[in-house]
Structure 1
Amino acid sequence: MPARIRTSRPDHRDRAGTAAWTAAWTAPPQRPSSSFQTNWSEEGFHDHTLRQVVRVTAPGDELRIRLSNRYGTSPLQLTGATVGLAADRGAGQVPGSTRELTFAGKESAVVPVGGRLASDPAGLRTDRLRRLTVTLYLRERTGAATFHDQAYATSYRARGDRRANDDGTPFTETTESLYYLTDVEVRGNEAGRRLGGRADGVVAFGDSLTDGFGSTTDADRRWPDALADRLAAQGTPRPVLNSGIGGNLLLHDSSWFGDSAWSRFERDVLDKPGVGTVVLLEGLNDIGFSESDLTTYKPNPAVSVAELIAAQRALIRQAHRRCVEVVGATLLPMKGAEYYNATSAAKIRELNHWIRTSGAFDAVVDLNRALAAPDDPERLNPAYDSGDHKHPNDAGYEVVAEEVAKALKK
């Protein structure tokens, strides 16, 4: 195993001595599409208030949000936005906690086609693992919306300007996708820490296994959520970001499944402030889609294990140049899943062997063995199976978090 990186990244204070920003929550942006569930990405918004609930994994005295119009076809005209502390359930928020967000000192803003925008700092004290509401009022017609498809969290919509509403009753329309919102960043004396010269933030980078397919909606039971909970409970809290996209591929872009891991790695991992470690869990879809008979979901030709290894090595080099450590995760068993066959199984075994033995990673977490059935190493343990023989349930994601937490200690 290679020696751990000790090169320092830039200090977490700016030139004026103010604590720098730390990424506390993220959701990778995707192209508008109908995908597999009801969402509002293709129709967009017009005189709508959009309320989204997120859980931050770092505390702070101030926060800011980032919005993306990366895949929009027209400038995004934002009439106004607020942030507040979320109530226990639904679209409600704690009365008196709401803060108006400004952009370059103004209430309204325009995000150009393909562009991003950060809000000004807002003074709202947030604890670790606290749920927040981010509310956007979109008075003008937006056109198709940049979004994150499979959020496993409910977003809410109401007609008219409902930013000031606390009880959530006007928000009668719901989806399980996120729109425009890509990041919440915090700063304060407790927000960012160092671990031997590195920032302490962890990015979970992968496909639907990281995004949380099979987990309970609105329960924060995806494995990055469970990891943040576990680290906090054992007295070693760290920011944990979920940069998974359902169906994501390591080597090829897809209109449904997002930009490839290779092309989005810098944006969705390395550019996040306060990140020092990435957990890489990618490649299952490259193997499964290319070897299956599911031509509807076949966005790429057959790929070799050598190609997947070369891509992972390139990502490791990218991360190391930015002083970010890489934890390699083996692919989970998937016997019985729709694209399991002898060829895909052989490729999974070969790739997993390389992950375990190559020494290319700073640490390795063997999820394949941890979640395998006791009597069949190529089948997901029934106790951890969400039902499709490929994605874990809540209990399975808890095991993933436990194994990753062990790897982070090494």
Structure 2
Amino acid sequence: MFTTSWTASPQSPSEGFTPNWSRAGFWRQSLRQVVRLSAGGGRVRVRLSHAYGTSPVRVAGASMGLSAGGAGVRPGSLVRLTFAGAGEAAIPARGEIVSDDVPLAVAAGDSVTVTLYFEAATGPATFHAQAFAPGYRGAGDLTEDAGGAGFDAVSESWYFLSAVETDAGRADAVALFGDSITDGFGSTTGADRRWSDALAGRTGRPVLNAGIGGNLLLNDSAWYGEKGVHRLRRDVLDHPGVDTLVVLLGLNDIGFSETDEQPTYHPAPVVEAAELIAGHRELLRQARAAGVRVIGATLLPFAGSDHWGEHAAKVGHELNEWIRCSGEYDAVADLNRALADPADPDRLRPAYDFGDHLHPNDTGYEVMAEVVAATL
């Protein structure tokens, strides 16, 4: 029985928040991506997504190994990946493929490398914009380059890789569904300090990160992914081993209308609490139909941020009260109260604030993990 050990939610190619390779794609290049697993096992497989492709992408070669840091692979751990027994495969347009499972002993907390070689031009690449971890690109077929010296370019996005699964034989994975706070914005890049990492460390359970920076519950966006009510099945429910979902979503829906700095909304829709509650109920309906229990997380304090304003404050308070008091969620993680400044409960406690009064820092993410671990 395979269990999902790591995920990244696919997004359409876009300019994104930082420079990336999604629009240009890849040609006669290798791509090495490093991800941190939350469940161990003796056999491993990967899932590759081209959800936003208009034509198939040919993977001419692929390998996997234990990370030695940077683009390096631990000596003796490199294994070739195959697909239905073949050394190459095509990811269908708007589809995905799963590799054959290969022998690779991994433990929870291990970082693994996944290397893909593209001989033919891929065209624009389905990707995940904000990895908060480096990935590497180099010319030619570098799938067997354990030293990593051939990789001469770095990106902080993930491309095509949407999941790593192990034969952990367990069905107790926790999926975190949200926006940039879940994605890990404000955590130390390359250090695996997102609250998903902290939660995995605290619970010993597989924890899947289904956050997308800027994501909204009710509306699609060119930069911020499909709306939450549409992407839940693909990004969470279809992954093997998930039994608990934590929902932390809605802050961008109410906050984008308060700022002129969002690149894809001019103007942003102004939403009411009733609309957000209906969206949360749709997530609950889908999750329960899949037999998954659901924890509702209250929105974090955000006064002083560019998302703050009279209307956003009102709707945020109303949504949080519904999450706390309606009884519709199986349990509630009150992140709002846990991270609030005692001197001003509408603001993040300064010790937890990344600096924009919206996103936590590493310490704040640890507190979020502590609250959810206690709820679990």
TM-score between the two structures when normalised by the length of structure 1: 0.90
Paired residue for 1:7?
A: none
Partner amino acid, structure 1, of 2:169: G
Identity within the alignment, %: 56
Q: Shift of residue 192 of structure 1?
A: 2.9
Deviations 1:115-150 (A, max 9, x none): 100001111111111100000011111100000000
Paired residue for 2:118?
A: 138
Give, in whole Å, the separation in 1 of the partners of 2:115 and 2:337. Answer: 42
Partner amino acid, structure 2, of 1:256: W
User: How many residues of Structure 1 are paired with residues of Structure 2 in the alignment?
Assistant: 375
Give, in whole Å, the separation in 1 of the partners of 2:338 and 2:364. Answer: 9
Contact 2:353–2:364 (Cα < 8 Å) also in 1: yes
Partner amino acid, structure 1, of 2:198: A
Give, in whole Å, the separation in 2 of the partners of 1:339 and 1:230. Answer: 31
Among 293, 307, 310, the alignment partner of 1:339 is 307
Secondary structure of 1:220 counterpart: coil
Give, in whole Å, the separation in 2 of the partners of 1:109 and 1:296. Answer: 36
Deviations 1:36-84 (A, max 9, x none): 2010000000011100001111111111101011112321011000010
Paired residue for 2:86?
A: 106
Give, in whole Å, the separation in 2 of the partners of 1:40 and 1:389. Answer: 30
Paired residue for 2:247?
A: 280
Farther off after superposition, 386-395 or 293-302: 293-302
Give, in whole Å, the separation in 1 of the partners of 2:107 and 2:263. Answer: 44
Among 170, 187, 190, the alignment partner of 1:215 is 187
Paired residue for 1:12?
A: none
Within a 5 Å distance, the mapping from 1:251-262 to structure 2 comes to 251-262=218-229
Within a 5 Å distance, the mapping from 1:30-41 to structure 2 comes to 30-41=11-22
Contact 1:57–1:238 (Cα < 8 Å) also in 2: yes
Q: Shift of residue 85 of structure 1?
A: 0.5
Among 303, 319, 329, the alignment partner of 1:361 is 329
Within a 5 Å distance, the mapping from 1:13-28 to structure 2 comes to 20-28=1-9
Contact 1:208–1:247 (Cα < 8 Å) also in 2: yes
Give, in whole Å, the separation in 1 of the partners of 2:190 and 2:372. Answer: 22
- Structure 1 portions without partners, runs of 5+: 1-19, 194-198, 232-236
Report runs of 4+ in structure 1 exceeding 4 Å deviation: none
Secondary structure of 1:123 counterpart: strand
Give, in whole Å, the separation in 2 of the partners of 1:259 and 1:70. Answer: 11
- Structure 2 portions without partners, runs of 5+: none
Paired residue for 1:263?
A: 230
Within a 5 Å distance, the mapping from 1:267-346 to structure 2 comes to 267-294=234-261, 296-298=263-265, 300-346=268-314
Give, in whole Å, the separation in 1 of the partners of 2:262 and 2:151. Answer: 39
Farther off after superposition, 281-290 or 311-320: 311-320
Give, in whole Å, the separation in 1 of the partners of 2:184 and 2:190. Answer: 11
Q: Shift of residue 387 of structure 1?
A: 0.8
Deviations 1:150-198 (A, max 9, x none): 01010000011111111212112001000000010111xxx133xxxxx
Within a 5 Å distance, the mapping from 1:14-93 to structure 2 comes to 20-87=1-68, 89-93=69-73
Secondary structure of 2:200 counterpart: helix
Partner amino acid, structure 1, of 2:230: S
Contact 1:103–1:118 (Cα < 8 Å) also in 2: yes
Contact 1:245–1:258 (Cα < 8 Å) also in 2: yes
Paired residue for 1:129?
A: 109
Contact 1:58–1:186 (Cα < 8 Å) also in 2: yes
Partner amino acid, structure 2, of 1:387: G
Q: Shift of residue 290 of structure 1?
A: 2.7
Give, in whole Å, the separation in 1 of the partners of 2:34 and 2:173. Answer: 21
Paired residue for 1:192?
A: 169
